[in-house]
């Protein structure tokens, strides 16, 4: 069942028609549970959140697209449609299948894009971009100052922690805070910090040779004995690399996931591991909190905050502290910039503006066409009109119409809007008792359905050809591997496509010459 459900989500395939409906209901149940827990204090891995957020986005987009007259219930009852109980039940099932198919089609595309985020190639490229982003941010006064006062950047052999009393006076504070649901790097050991940050995956920890139930330290806990209500090892915990990322800005710094594994093993064996901000004299008092971004930036005999602010070009110490406190942490900002870069470069269906168009296309499926055809037949029966069309006929006519158009004339949105207008007019005519007009507009509705689909396919094919042409134009061919004659024809094809924008007659002549040359190649090969 699990393997079949995974294939259903990612590939749109189910072992049988019966299981497809079971999988659809199971999927809906899972999403309902996720909606109920996502706003609670439940720790989920980024991968799990991404997965369910993408499923939710799919549902929301399909609902938005179908919220127009084209997908409204046309007949309000079986009596109005002139259908038997069985015919009405089948009609309603077709409507639901149309929606399920749209969701399934869009979801397949969305999850296919999502999986890229977790491939080795994506992670390697994103890590490289993140490091470049860190380097770029450290060129700015804000992040250089932040790194300096946190001790991550040494200038002239000097670390930049600020005078604690001065900072607390500037910000009107009186003590450092301790909250049960926040990491306190001044006192928390590594395992306590891990628990506060969402915990490690129990299964992945065991794969690394870690025994979650063998903690000999003074704060010993197991999965059944959480730290401050938060378990260290849990079923849906993070992997070591993701936890390493979260720990970094708290001062628990490890070069690799394996280094973190070693540190966890060390504390489990009884030796506490602390952050670089560890302070055994830290006062556990609840008070007006020092902003989290300023933790670890002060010391009893630290530097004068005004002098440090002036060094980095800030108007005052307060200005510097306020801006650092409000800015995202270095690694958080670098991670966000890296993801933005990857999305711009490779695309992201949720954020690059394509999901709405993909949802439109997914909603225009054959199950929906079947629903429209059923309405047409019912209207024909009501009016005593013989309906001499079917879906196959309208599909062929749509292909002929679009095929006769120039590529610049093909505008899918035009047929999309026309479909909505036809649906609206058919509904108005039906409500006013003008059944023959309703039949006329419903046929138009179905015709526009196929015209839209053919237009989308034609545009996609043209875009694919044009992408090949642009690639061929830039490509350098090795005449030792590719015949010079073939290279000449390829370049001629590129030129013909470019001519089509300015001189259609010249372009047509070029295409004829290339087609003649291709025919000759086939003739020579056959001969």
Same structural domain, 321 and 183: no
pLDDT in tens, the chain (527 residues): 556 555 555 555 555 555 666 767 777 777 777 676 666 556 666 667 777 777 777 777 888 888 888 888 899 999 999 999 999 999 999 999 998 888 888 888 887 777 777 788 888 999 999 999 999 999 999 999 999 998 888 888 877 899 999 998 898 876 544 555 578 888 889 999 999 888 999 889 988 988 887 765 444 444 334 444 578 888 888 999 999 999 998 899 999 999 999 999 999 888 899 999 888 777 654 456 788 889 889 988 899 999 999 999 999 999 999 999 999 989 989 998 998 898 888 877 666 667 778 888 889 999 999 999 999 999 999 999 988 888 888 999 999 999 888 888 899 999 999 999 999 999 999 999 999 999 999 999 999 999 999 999 999 888 888 888 778 777 787 877 878 888 888 888 888 777 776 777 787 888 888 888 888 888 877 75
pLDDT at residue 3, rounded to an integer: 61
Three-state SS at 158: strand
Same structural domain, 145 and 186: no
Alpha-carbon dihedral 477, 480, 485, 487, rounded to 10 degrees: 0
Same structural domain, 212 and 257: yes
Same structural domain, 320 and 187: no
Token digits for 442?
């419903």
Same structural domain, 163 and 302: yes
275 falls within a domain: no
134 falls within a domain: yes
Same structural domain, 294 and 242: no
Token digits for 422?
């036809």
281 falls within a domain: no
Same structural domain, 181 and 237: yes
**What is the tally of structural domains in the chain?**
3
Three-state SS at 346: helix
Same structural domain, 218 and 260: yes
pLDDT at residue 40, rounded to an integer: 59
Q: Report the alpha-carbon angle 154-156-159, nearest 5.
A: 35
Same structural domain, 181 and 168: no
Same structural domain, 183 and 168: no
Letter string b/e over residues 305-338, b meaning 16 or more CB atoms within 10 A of that residue's CB: bbebbebbebeebeebbbbbeebebbbebbbebb
Same structural domain, 298 and 259: no
Same structural domain, 185 and 144: no
Q: How many CB atoms lie within 10 A of CB 344?
A: 11
- What's the pTM? 0.55
Tell me how far apart the alpha carbons of residues 473 and 494 are, in angstroms, rounded to a whole number: 6
pLDDT at residue 219, rounded to an integer: 46
Per the structure, the complete domain to which residue 482 belongs is given by 475-525
pLDDT at residue 221, rounded to an integer: 43
Tell me how far apart the alpha carbons of residues 316 and 145 are, in angstroms, rounded to a whole number: 13
């Amino acid at each position: 069942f699990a393997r079949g459900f995974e294939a259903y989500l990612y590939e749109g395939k189910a072992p049988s028609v019966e299981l497809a409906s079971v999988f659809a209901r199971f999927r809906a149940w899972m999403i309902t549970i996720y909606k109920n827990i996502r706003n609670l204090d439940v720790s989920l891995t980024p991968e799990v959140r991404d997965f369910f957020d993408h499923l939710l986005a799919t549902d929301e987009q399909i609902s938005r697209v179908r919220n127009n007259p084209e997908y409204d219930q046309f007949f309000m009852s079986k009596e109005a449609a002139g259908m038997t109980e069985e015919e009405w039940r089948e009609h309603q099932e077709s409507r639901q299948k149309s929606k399920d198919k749209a969701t399934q089609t869009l979801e397949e595309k969305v999850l296919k894009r999502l999986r890229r985020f977790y491939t080795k190639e994506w992670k390697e490229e994103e890590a490289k971009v993140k490091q470049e982003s860190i380097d770029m941010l450290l060129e700015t006064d804000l992040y250089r100052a932040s790194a300096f006062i946190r001790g991550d950047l040494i200038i002239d052999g000097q670390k930049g922690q600020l005078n604690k009393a001065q900072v607390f006076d500037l910000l009107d504070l009186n003590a450092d805070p301790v909250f049960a649901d926040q990491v306190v790097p001044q006192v928390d050991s590594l395992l306590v910090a891990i628990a506060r940050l969402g915990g490690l995956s129990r299964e992945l920890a065991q794969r690394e040779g870690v025994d979650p139930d063998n903690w000999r330290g003074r704060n010993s806990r197991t999965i059944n004995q959480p730290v401050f209500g938060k378990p260290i090892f849990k079923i849906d915990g993070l992997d070591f690399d993701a936890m390493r990322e979260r720990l970094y800005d708290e001062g628990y710094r490890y070069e690799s996931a394996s280094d973190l594994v070693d540190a966890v093993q060390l504390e489990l064996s009884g030796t506490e591991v602390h952050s670089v901000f560890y302070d055994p004299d830290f006062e556990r008092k609840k008070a007006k909190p020092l902003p989290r971004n300023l933790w670890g930036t002060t010391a009893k005999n630290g530097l004068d905050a005004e002098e440090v602010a002036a060094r980095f070009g800030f108007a005052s110490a307060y200005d510097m502290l306020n801006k650092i406190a409000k800015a995202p942490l270095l690694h958080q900002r670098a991670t966000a910039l890296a993801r933005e870069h990857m999305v711009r470069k490779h695309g992201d269906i949720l954020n690059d503006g394509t999901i709405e168009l993909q949802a439109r296309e997914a909603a225009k499926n054959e199950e929906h066409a079947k629903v429209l055809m059923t309405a047409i037949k019912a209207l024909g029966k009501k009016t005593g009109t013989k309906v001499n069309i079917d879906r196959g006929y309208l599909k062929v006519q749509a292909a002929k119409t679009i095929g006769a158009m120039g590529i610049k004339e093909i505008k899918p949105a035009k047929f999309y809007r026309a479909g909505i207008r036809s649906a609206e007019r058919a509904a108005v005519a039906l409500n006013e008792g003008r059944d023959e007009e309703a039949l006329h507009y419903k046929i138009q509705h179905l015709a526009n359905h196929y015209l839209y689909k053919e237009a989308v396919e034609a545009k996609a094919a043209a875009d694919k050809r044009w992408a090949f042409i642009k690639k061929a134009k830039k490509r350098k061919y090795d005449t030792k591997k590719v015949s010079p004659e073939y290279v000449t024809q390829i370049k001629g094809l590129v030129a013909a496509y470019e001519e089509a924008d300015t001189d259609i007659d010249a372009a047509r002549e070029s295409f004829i010459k290339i087609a003649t040359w291709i025919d000759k190649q086939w003739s020579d090969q056959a001969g």
